[in-house]
Structure 1
Amino acid sequence: MRALHQIDAWAVPFAAAGVTRADGVVATHGDSRRALRLASVSKPVAALAALVAAEEGVLDLDEAAGPPGSTVRHLLAHASGLPFEGESPIARPGRRRIYSNEGYRVLGGHLARRAEMPFADYVRAAVVEPLDLDLDPSGHPGAGMHGSLDDLLTLGRELLEPRLVAPETHAEMVSVQFPGLDGVLPDFGRFSPLDWGLGVELKGAKAGHWSGTLTSPRTFGHFGGSGTFLWVDPDRAVACAALTTRPFGEWAKAAWPRLCDAVLEELG
């Protein structure tokens, strides 16, 4: 795809980008096998593992986890009241959408206790091995995983046509959890509401979205502070991902939407 060659002009030491449909990769550009830190793109992987755990009966999405009054569902949807970092809640559960790495750390510990095995080992058994990924789920559950573009595109295909979880579970993952909560999308500002699913941000009606102007309102996904993103557009039946070695910043706010719009224009 010509659109993917835009990454050659990005002021980054390394970049790789690709597009996939449910039945296979459309195109990639750059080294698709090089593993990098996924940063917050780790969160959809952690969430998928938690959803597998829910289907297996290892945990229940509505069981207590985290601060008093919080559940697994609250942790997955950034509604537990925990701050970005730090163990002390700054709001009551279900009152605000507070983007929280701490919430995913707590989630990882909770799942590990319920599964009676390390969190990374559960992710390997529940997600990595069934999808034949090379992804390394070690480190912080919401920010420390490492993977390649190939891994993200495989994950994109799974999120387009789920095999690991039932369609009903997938539908819950990509539906608004705790509707009406306002919050701040990191580095993009406040949104009213800031809709979130289980481990994925929902584009909805947001203006100036990082996935561009042509992705549908049903688009969902995540971006990471290490310069990574993955979005899935079920209406257009396509997923797009990119990895870089430059931290997210103003460059990405300009470059990513241009790339995403060019991809969808080229697909037609």
Structure 2
Amino acid sequence: MQSLAMIENWPVPNAAAAVVRADGTVAGSHGPADRRFPLASVTKPLAAYAALVAYEEGAIELDEPAGPEGSTVRHLLAHTSGLAFDERRAVAEPGTRRTYSNAGFEILAEHIAHATDIPFEQYLRQGVLEPLGMTATTLEGPGGAAGSAAKDGVSTLDDLVRFAAEVQSPRLLDPRTVLAAMTVVHPGLDGLLPGYGRQRPNDWGLGFEIRDGKSPHWTGSSSSPRTFGHFGQSGTFLWIDPDAGAACVALTDRAFGEWAIAAWPPFTDAVLAELRTA
């Protein structure tokens, strides 16, 4: 796909991008496929998928208590637990506000580890990464410590292509579970989308952000409202557009900023336009 070559004009040291169709075939790839990039918050969809595996295995229930009083696993996945961004303190009642929270995903990982008696990094590896052949993906914390389920993933383009294919045509999960993950949880809640300001509403599914009618947004103007995915502060993103029948992964090694706000939407629009004419 010629549109993927647009990443060469991004002001970043290194970049890689790929498009994966709903049937799992790769429509195009550009850049180093095996270079490992820090994912930042693109870690969260991987962690959420592990949580959904734990749910289907019966280790946890989505509506069991987890996090602050009144919060559940579902609240943690959907950023409605009321926890602060990076602190384990409540700033709102559960289910009343969309408060994006790294702390919530860290508590979620601890909850799963306690329920399964398996360290979360190991559970993620055994339940998601190894079955999908994502051998280059790890959670890497500072100084060799266990990494945060919210932000410490490191991966490659090849590995995230495998994950994007799985989400579109699930093998590890029941398709109905994945459909729930890309469906708005607690509709109508406002909240801040990091980097893009207050969104009314700020729709989210189970670990995946849902585009809906958000503006401004990191996807394209031609992205369907059903588009879901995540972006990371390390300059990375993964979106899946069910209406286009495709997903796109982009990885860089420059922190998210004004360059990404300017570069990502026209890139996505070019990818979608090429998909429509293919």
TM-score range, shorter chain: over 0.9
Instruction: List 4+ stretches of structure 1 deviating above 4 A.
Output: none
Q: TM-score, normalised by structure 1?
A: 0.98
Contact 1:124 1:137 in 2 (8 A): no
Contact 2:54 2:60 in 1 (8 A): yes
Deviation (angstroms), 1:23: 2.7
Contact 2:86 2:101 in 1 (8 A): yes
Distance 1:161 1:234 in 2: 11
Q: Which residue of 2 aligns with 1:182?
A: 190
Distance 1:88 1:20 in 2: 39
For 1:108-131, what per-residue CA distance to the aligned partner results, in whole angstroms no more than 9, with x for missing partners?
Answer: 111000010100000011100111
Matched, 1:226 2:226: no
Residue 261 of structure 1 is aligned with which of 269, 272, 275?
269
For 1:210-262, what per-residue CA distance to the aligned partner results, in whole angstroms no more than 9, with x for missing partners?
Answer: 11011111100000000000000111110001000100001001101111111
Q: Which residue of 1 aligns with 2:200?
A: 192
Contact 1:123 1:137 in 2 (8 A): no
Deviation (angstroms), 1:159: 1.2
Q: Which residue of 1 aligns with 2:84?
A: 83
Q: Which residue of 1 aligns with 2:61?
A: 60
Identity, in percent, stands at 53
Distance 2:256 2:266 in 1: 15
Report the aligned-residue RMSD.
0.8
Unaligned runs of 5+ in 1: none
Q: Which residue of 1 aligns with 2:144?
A: none
Residue 137 of structure 1 is aligned with which of 136, 139, 145?
139
Distance 1:180 1:2 in 2: 38
Residue 253 of structure 2 is aligned with which of 239, 245, 262?
245
For 1:133-186, what per-residue CA distance to the aligned partner results, in whole angstroms no more than 9, with x for missing partners?
Answer: 121134100100110111111111111111111111111101010111110000
Worse-matched range after superposition: 149-158 or 116-125: 149-158
Distance 2:221 2:266 in 1: 9
Distance 1:66 1:37 in 2: 27
Q: Which residue of 2 aligns with 1:121?
A: 122
Distance 2:20 2:131 in 1: 19
User: Which residues in structure 2 correspond to 1:142-221 (within 5 Å)?
Assistant: 142-221=150-229
Q: Which residue of 1 aligns with 2:16?
A: 16
- Paired residue type of 2:138: D
Q: TM-score, normalised by structure 2?
A: 0.95
Contact 2:24 2:169 in 1 (8 A): no
Contact 2:40 2:151 in 1 (8 A): yes
Residues matched between the structures, number: 268
- Paired residue type of 1:125: Q
